[in-house]
Amino acid sequence: MTALAVLLGHRIGYSASPAMHNAAFAALELDARFELRDVAVDDLAGEVERLRESDRIGANVTKPHKVAVCSMVDELGPEVRRLGAANTIMREGHRLVARNTDLAALRAELPSDISRAVVLGSGGASRAAVDALKSAGCGAVLVLDRARWKNMPGALMTAQLLVNATPIGTESDDTPVPANLLRRGMAVLDLVYRPSPSRLVREARRAGASARGGAGMLLRQAALSFTLWTDREAPVDVMRDALRGELGDGADV
């Protein structure tokens, strides 16, 4: 019986996760596959319940469901209890366990010695970014949701790091940050990975800022999720090659 892992999200046709995970399954000769499940909010509980079926090994979770799934499983990992957001579900027998691999992936992507940061967004990715920053010793983390974006110019004047934890820029040439607010000496981490580099990353680099897109974080969290599902070390190089094949050689992988 072919094992199945899925991505639960809404409007996720752009996702590069199937390419990475299916390449990893093939490399390790595992009889498994990874598929997208585009799920509206009202249908989420039913899709989570299907993860208990014997052929399922788990799921990744993306926008807008990272918070909602936490009330639909049997157990929360310690990091999920702290964050209130999950991006991975494991099936253990008939029980479902929620974990968050975004957190470790984000920590690995953050620049060192950051004391003042601004995080855009208020969803699950934003929660992980804030926690990762605080764990790294960042003493001042300002979260700006869309209702507070009028405060962005003042906030970015002294910020050492800007994290875009919104989906703005995904499959588009949009950006949440006016180019005139970007400057030399600032670091930018845009969690958007398609296109790579995003408009925000391109404009930040033109302004002299150090900037990275979200492809590297996507790869790291995917590898961690793969290991949780399979109890096998993820073939990271294989997954990286598959991700580059999806995004292009210029991607920040």
Is there a contact between 230 and 57 (Cβ–Cβ < 8 Å)? yes
Known catalytic membership, residue 66: yes
Closest C-alpha to 97, from 81, 73, 65, 62: 73
Q: Would you list the DSSP string of 89-109? A: EEEETTEEEEE--HHHHHHHH
Is there a contact between 26 and 241 (Cβ–Cβ < 8 Å)? no
Q: Which of 63, 66, 134, 150 is catalytic?
A: 66
Q: Which spans in the chain are helix H?
A: 17-27, 44-50, 78-83, 102-109, 124-135, 152-158, 199-206, 215-230, 236-247
Q: What is the 8-class DSSP label of residue 48?
A: H
Pairing mode, if any, of strands 75-76 and 88-92? unpaired
- Phi, psi at 96, each rounded to 5°: -115, 130
- Which positions are annotated as active-site residues? 66
